[in-house]
């Protein structure tokens, strides 16, 4: 009985560690996707003099020039990345991913056509956001 109890405890600890490792790996993938998208946006800006102007940034993915892998997809099918580009003048963008295991760098998700990615908040939510650098 003692051996079975010890094995059960070890399995429970192992399962929790495995789930945590999976969440961290998905969060790492999300951060990587956001940074790659930010690089693609900056390349788009360099070539076109403005950021994409469609509300969900589809102009960026219209050709394989800037984002050869296409639009990134969240590692969990139940979650999506939130894209927001300025549809009036191409002056900016904000793209966020909701994290599972960590707090992010943004205090609020952007609303469509309003860039409210804020960094260094005193109470960050679990969103990792990137915004225009120009």
- What are 30-79's pLDDT values in tens digits? 999 999 999 999 999 999 898 888 767 888 888 778 888 888 989 988 88
- Helix (H/G/I), strand (E/B), else coil: 132: coil
Q: Position of tokens 């927001």?
A: 84
Percent of the chain exceeding pLDDT 90 equals: 19
- Give the residue from 89, 22, 33, 25 showing the smallest Cα distance to 61: 33
User: How high is the pLDDT of residue 125?
Assistant: 67
User: Where along the chain do its domains lie?
Assistant: 2-131
Residue 114 has pLDDT above 70, yes or no: no
Q: What is the mean pLDDT of residues 89-101?
A: 82
Distance of CA 54 to the CA centre of its chain: 19
Q: Which whole number is the average pLDDT over 81-97? A: 79
Q: Residue 106: what pLDDT?
A: 67
Which pLDDT belongs to residue 101?
80
Higher local confidence (pLDDT), 110 or 47: 47
Q: How far apart are CA 41 and CA 60, in angstroms?
A: 7
Q: What percent of the chain has pLDDT over 70?
A: 83
Using pLDDT thresholds of 50, 70 and 90, give the confidence band for residue 26.
Answer: very high
Looking at 3.30.700, 3.40.50, 3.30.70, 1.20.120, the CATH number of the domain 2-131 comes to 3.30.700
- Bigger pLDDT: 43 or 125? 43
Q: Is residue 118 a contact partner of residue 84, using CB atoms and an 8 Å limit?
A: no
């Amino acid at each position: 009985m003692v051996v079975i109890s010890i094995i059960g405890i070890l399995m429970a600890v192992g399962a929790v560690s495995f789930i945590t490792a999976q969440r961290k790996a998905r969060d790492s993938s999300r951060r990587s996707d956001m940074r790659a998208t930010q690089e693609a946006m900056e390349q788009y800006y360099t070539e076109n003099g403005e950021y994409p102007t469609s509300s969900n940034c589809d102009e960026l993915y219209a050709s394989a020039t800037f984002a050869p892998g296409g639009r990134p997809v969240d590692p969990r099918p139940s979650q999506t990345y939130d894209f927001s580009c300025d549809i009036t003048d191409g002056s900016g963008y904000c793209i966020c991913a909701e994290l599972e295991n960590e707090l992010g760098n943004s205090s609020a998700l952007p609303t469509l056509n309003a860039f409210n990615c804020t960094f260094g908040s005193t109470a960050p939510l679990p969103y990792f956001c990137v915004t225009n650098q120009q």
